[in-house]
Amino acid sequence: MNPELEQILSRAQTLYEDVDYKAVAEWKSCAPGRRAIGYMPIYVPRELIHAAGMLPVGIFGGGDRLEIIRGDAYFQSYICHIPRSTIELAISGRLDMLDGMLFPSICDVIRNLSGMWTMLFPGRYVRYVDLPQNYDARVGGEFWRRELTAMRADMARLAGGEISDQNLRNSIRIYNQNRRAIRELYQARSESPWLFPIAQVYAVLRAGSVLPPEEHTTMVRRYLEVASQGSTLPEDRSRVVLTGMFCEQPPLALLITLERAGCWIVDDDLLLGFRWFTGEVPEGGDAIENLAQAYLTQSVATASCYAPDGQRGRWLVDAVRQNHADGVIFCAPSFCDPALLEQPMLVAALEREHIPHTQFKYSEDTGQFAVIREQAGTFSDSIRLWSEA
Amino acid sequence: MTKDNVQESTVQKERSMVLQKQLIGDYYDSLGRAHEEGKRVVSTFVPGNLTELLRSFDLLPILPEINALQSGMRKLSANFIAEAEKHGHSEDVCTYVKCDIGMLKLGNVGPTGVKLPNPDLLLLSYTGCFTFLKWFELLRQEYQCPVAMLHVPYLANGRIEPHHVDYVVQQLRTEVIPKLEQVSGRRYDEARLSEMLALSAKAEDDFVWVLESAKNEPSPIDAYFGGVYYIGPIFTAFRGTSEGVEYYRVLREEIAERIKLGLGPVTPEGTMERQRYRLVVEGPPNWTSFREFWKMFYDEGAVIVASSYTKVGGLYDRGFRHDPNRPLESLAEYCLGCYTNLGLPARVDLLERYIREYRADGFMINSVKSCNSFSVGQLLMLRQLEQRTGVPGGFIESDLVDPRYFSPANIKNRIESYLQMLEQRRTAGVTA
């Protein structure tokens, strides 16, 4: 393996495996007064945190790398896994380095988790980020501008200073660069998935949850450049789109299993918040207005956001077409309301277009993959052997 | 049967019960005839419902949650849920949704046997429950009808801020009312809406009086199992109607009489005589075994004096009233203030007040699998309430309308053990 590639992947893998968030503690220790703000999936305006000079830290649960000792005592058996491991991270002291926590409006579980946080950790900053479900600029836009303004004031207060317009515009520019780099990586992966194995892409992407965006953009760009020069030859596999994984993340081994079962993953909704906007947020003018408008008009389609046009599943069909995919794997966490309630609508959209699909569920700490491998392998084989194409 | 806690000789339908049965029956009949009579119908949800606004346009509301719970009580839901799961709906998700979709797939015959009309509009009052959003997206695909989306901001800190009200009112003006005008062919008539809101407030006064009658000892009502009947008209299609006002007037009179006579609540097996435990309950009831569930409490002399479920359609007992002088603002405040739209700390505060104000001996959480909005955080709520009040809590698990998740032996065992523990504390002289 190219030494630079090895170095990038080693760094990304170390960050991925670190459930003690040492990188965040290190970042904070580099200068006095540095602060870090945690956020949960899917989308929060990280620009506001960054513009205040603080580090946005993505909290995506403990995956399969954390033993749940006390977290299970807070949740009934029929609730998904990410809140358990997140509570475990917090009550075990692993999130003590955070100076605040943002909970976006993804589902009732994450919403109620914000209230649990308030009760469990009195005195710590907690904010429920109520994303607008009305996309009229005069109505939902006005509500969201107000929320953004309030959040800006909160971030400034936590950082102990003001957030200047110039700083905010600069942060928008930096996150535009980050999103652009990730989009390019996804595009390259779609074109030559054999050069960008899912385990590598995921680890590099996930590093963005703890690295400052500038550093993460550099990592993504270096990875893109070095991995593009790889000499791996393409194999005859099925090209699939993965969907349903926008919140609780699957264990890396599950993603690797899918590839080993004969699938090239050409698109997915993993860590979707890092690619939330489909285009650039304008970098000049009124920064709050730009962020608000971008949310209303450039957000990706996903289960947690209302679809006013009723075209549920259109985006998935488009993803299949644009990435020349052969089929779709629905891969949702057990008990994930948004993904599982959405699924019948997506299935209907795919079936109208005669796009093959299969489905299974996982938990972030799933450890057995034999059945998934068999199912994904059969799906891939069926596409390659019997599809009309 | 003569159990020491229930006096069978008093089993009889009170006038309010007859009245309510008539109201519900007429309501479903009117839905069945709606389209042939040229009336338009709008599907919407109980929390944050805009019944007066709909009725001011002469539109009839259909409430899928009510259809689902009625189907559950009539043992129809298991078949509907199986049908939905056959169509690819996950076993993990809300059983109200699957009951509704299964009913639709099997011909849309409602719980009373009347075929329900297809809705002309889906009014998605997105209040306190994420699932609502997906539910109506699913229904939109089935019915191919328009949707009016009303996003009600969540009150994470339990307080209504002016900009919350502005946001909801703006949506009423720009999204909801224009679509109601379009569907009904009528112009928005604020004076008519105000008249209806005045009727709502009148009924709400009597409703609150009924709920608070449980502060008496003995309590003349069961504020959970009986409470679900009392909330029926005011949470659904009868707010803002003279029938609704009349129902609550009659109900209040009956309960006043019960207080005068020192009588307990009416259970399916008669009047409850001995009240050994006063409990507060958090969470919705199970509907598929509703009577069996209730019996587990009254057989042991446990009466529910306050419950959070009877607040999902509005927190009237904390002072809210629909205000005819501020019609849209008042509707916005109503939507915002529903129980499941409150952050967990505010929910704990409310339950703590109930435990103290109603002098409860204990509190019980019925955690339902279907409803993450209610259920997530309840184990922490349990601990917080115990710490704050010194009153011990009990915890049971069931579901709304999926009978597979109602395990009678386990639930009964837990309830009995919990009540025995209360008894032992009492004997030992432990008080909060």
Task: Give the position of tokens 């988790």.
Answer: A113
* CA–CA distance, B322 with A54 (Å, rounded to integer): 45
What are the φ/ψ torsions at residue A209 (nearest 5 degrees)? -80, -20
> What is the dotted CATH code of the domain comprising B29-188?
3.40.50.11890
Is residue A201 a contact partner of residue A274, using CB atoms and an 8 Å limit? no
Residue pair B345/B158 in contact (Cβ under 8 Å)? The answer is yes
For residue B7, name the pLDDT band (cuts at 50, 70, 90): low
Instruction: Tell me if B372 and A105 make a contact (CB, 8 A cut-off).
Output: no
Q: Pick from A75, A119, A140: which is nearest to B348 by CB?
A: A119
**Do the chains contact at A76 and B372, CB–CB below 8 Å?**
no
pLDDT, residue B429, reads: 82
Domains and CATH numbers, chain A: 21-167 (3.40.50.11890)
Indicate yes or no: CB of B376 within 8 angstroms of CB of A343. Answer: no
Q: How confident is the model at residue A310 (pLDDT cuts 50, 70, 90)?
A: confident
Helix, strand, coil share (%) of chain A residues, nearest 5: 50, 10, 35
**Do the beta carbons of residue A278 and residue A367 sit within 8 Å?**
no
Contact B154 A336 (CB under 8 A): no
Q: Collapse the DSSP code of A110 into the 3-class scheme (helix H, G, I; strand E, B; otherwise coil) and give the result.
A: helix
- Report d(CA A178, CA B390) in Å as an integer: 52
Residue count of chain B: 432
B139 touches chain A (CB under 8 A): no
Sequence ranges of the domains in chain B: 6-13+192-427, 29-188
Check pLDDT > 90 for residue B10.
no
Instruction: Report the residue of chain B nearest A335, measured CA to CA.
Output: B92
Q: Output the CA torsion sign for A318, A321, A322, A327.
A: positive
- Full-model pTM: 0.96
Distance from CA of A238 to the nearest CA of B (A): 24
Asked if residues A330 and A358 have their Cβ atoms less than 8 Å apart, the reply is yes
Tell me whether B348 touches chain A (CB under 8 Å).
yes
Q: How confident is the model at residue A235, as a pLDDT?
A: 85
Collapsing DSSP states into helix, strand and coil, what is residue A205?
Answer: helix
Closest residue in B to A142 (Cα–Cα): B167
Lowest average pLDDT, out of A135-139, A264-268, A307-311, A360-364, goes to A307-311
Pair of tokens at residue A377: 């392998």
> Would strands B121-126 and B60-62 be described as parallel, antiparallel, or unpaired?
unpaired
The residue to which tokens 């699938």 are assigned? A263
Secondary structure letter of residue A326 according to DSSP: S
Whether B6-13+192-427 and B29-188 share one fold: the answer is: yes
Is the peptide bond between B218 and the residue preceding it cis, with omega within 30 degrees of 0? yes
Paired with B24 in beta bridges are: none
Closest CA–CA distance from residue B372 to any residue of chain A (Å): 6
Q: Is the predicted pLDDT of residue B62 greater than 70, yes or no? A: yes
Asked if residues B99 and B84 have their Cβ atoms less than 8 Å apart, the reply is yes
pLDDT above 50 for B1: no
Give me the pLDDT at residue A209, please. 98
Mean pLDDT for chain B overall: 95
Q: What is the largest CA-CA distance in chain A?
A: 63
Cis status, amide bond into A42, omega within 30 of 0: yes
pLDDT over 50 (residue B341) = yes
Is residue B370 within 8 A of residue B95, CB to CB? The reply is yes
ipTM > 0.90, yes or no: yes
Asked if A347 lies within 8 A of B88 by C-beta distance, the reply is yes
Any alpha helices (H) in A300-369, and if so which ranges? 314-322, 337-352
pLDDT (mean) for B86-98: 96
Over residues A96-121, the mean pLDDT reads 97
DSSP H/E element including A21: none
Q: pLDDT tens across B99-123, in order? A: 999 999 999 999 889 999 999 999 9
Binding-face residues of B in 391-420 toward A, CB within 8 A: 397
Q: Which residue of A138, A146, A341 is in closest CB contact with B97?
A: A341
Rounded distance between C-alpha atoms, residue B125 and residue B334, angstroms? 12
pLDDT for B13 = 75
Whether the pLDDT of residue A243 is over 80: the answer is yes
Instruction: Please give the pLDDT value at position B2.
Output: 42
Measured between beta carbons, which residues in chain A are less than 8 angstroms from residue B175? 134, 136, 139
Q: Extract long-range pairs of A162-166: CB within 8 Å, 24+ residues apart.
A: A163/A48, A163/A51, A163/A52, A164/A51, A165/A287
Distances in Å between the Cα of A162 and the Cα atoms of A49, A155, B398 are: 12, 9, 50
CA distances A57 to A27, A102, A137, B197, B372, Å, are 11, 10, 29, 48, 26
Q: Which residue of A lies nearest to B144 if distances are taken between CA atoms?
A: A310
Asked if pLDDT for residue B187 goes beyond 80, the answer is yes
- Interval B245-271: pLDDT, tens: 999 999 999 999 999 999 999 999 999
Interval A240-265 mean pLDDT? 96
Q: What is the pLDDT of residues A10-42, one digit of tens each?
A: 999 999 999 999 999 999 999 999 999 999 999
Tell me the mean pLDDT in the region B345-366: 98
For chain A, the average pLDDT equals: 96
Tell me the CATH class for B6-13+192-427: alpha beta
Mean pLDDT of B396-418: 96
Q: What is the pLDDT of residue B251?
A: 97
Mutate to test the interface with B, among A112, A125, A128, A314 (most CBs of B within 10 A): A112
Dihedral angle computed from the Cα positions of residues A346, A347, A353 and A354, in that order, rounded to the nearest 10 degrees: 160
**Does residue A232 register a pLDDT over 70?**
yes
**Do B175 and A143 lie within an 8 Å CB cutoff?**
no
Q: How far, in Å, are B3, B193, B290, B291 from residue B296 at the CA level?
A: 13, 43, 10, 9
Dist CA A369 CA A361 (whole Å) = 11
Q: Is residue A83 predicted with pLDDT exceeding 80? A: yes
Please say whether the beta carbons of A338 and A366 come within 8 A.
no
Q: Which of B138, B174, B345 sits opposite A344 (nearest CB)?
A: B138
Give how far A46 is from chain B: nearest CA, Å.
Answer: 21
Q: CA neighbours within 13 Å on the CB side: how many for A112?
A: 30
Asked if A348's CB is within 8 angstroms of B369's CB, the reply is no
Q: Which residue of A has its CA nearest to B164?
A: A143
Mean pLDDT of the B409-432 span:
92
Instruction: Check if B87 contacts A (Cβ < 8 Å).
Output: yes
Mean local confidence (pLDDT), A169-179: 98
| End-to-end Cα distance, chain B | 36
d(CA A209, CA A204): 10
Q: What is the pLDDT of residue A102?
A: 98
Q: Looking at this protein, which amino acid is placed at residue B156?
A: A
Rounded Cα distance between A336 and A82, Å, is: 10
| Structure tokens, A19 | 């459930």
pLDDT at B431: 67
As a whole number of angstroms, the distance between CA B203 and CA A79 comes to 38
**Residue B259 touches partner A, C-beta closer than 8 Å:** no
Q: How far is A128 from chain B (nearest CA, A)?
A: 6
